[in-house]
């Protein structure tokens, strides 16, 4: 059996999730790096939680640095979308890689989580 933790208990650098937030064209752009999994998504969850309380906020998740995402990540995306739309905001995805695209399609979440080719397209759509 293989585990994602190194012997010292830390996660390898390619499995740590980072979430950097910047404002662009009136929207919050969250640039995510790393595998979005149950045991790695806390930094992203914290960043999104800090944004969801703001009324009518648009959020773009730049997932170009995310090679994979499990059901916990999908759940986080759906919860965040629900919280944002309840206050007049929105959530849009950009830069999704093939594995993430496939998971979104299989789960039919691509119907409620719109995807765009670039951050610029997502912020101006």
3-state secondary structure of 120: helix
Radius of gyration, alpha carbons of the chain: 14
Instruction: Give the number of C-alpha atoms closer than 13 A to the C-alpha of residue 109, restricted to the C-beta side.
Output: 23
Whether residue 125 contacts residue 116, with contact meaning beta carbons closer than 8 Å, is answered with yes
DSSP category for residue 36: B
Q: Is the pLDDT of residue 122 over 70?
A: yes
Instruction: Please state which of the ranges 6-15, 32-41, 74-83 shows the lowest mean pLDDT.
Output: 6-15
Neighbours of 84 (CB within 10 A): 23
Query: Each residue of 45-57: pLDDT tens digit?
Result: 999 999 998 899 9
Confidence of residue 11 (pLDDT cuts 50, 70, 90): low
In degrees to the nearest 10, what's the CA dihedral of 54, 72, 120, 98?
-170
């Amino acid at each position: 059996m293989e585990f994602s933790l190194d012997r010292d208990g830390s996660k390898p650098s390619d499995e740590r999730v980072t979430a950097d937030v910047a404002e662009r064209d009136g929207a919050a752009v969250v640039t995510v790096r790393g595998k979005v999994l149950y045991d790695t998504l806390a930094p992203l969850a914290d960043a999104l939680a800090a944004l969801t309380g703001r009324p009518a906020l648009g959020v773009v998740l730049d997932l170009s640095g995310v090679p994979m995402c499990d059901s916990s990540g999908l759940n986080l995306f759906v919860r965040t979308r629900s919280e944002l739309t309840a206050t007049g905001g929105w959530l849009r995805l950009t830069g999704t890689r093939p594995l993430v695209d496939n998971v979104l399609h299989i789960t039919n979440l691509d119907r409620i989580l719109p995807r765009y080719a670039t951050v610029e397209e997502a912020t101006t759509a």
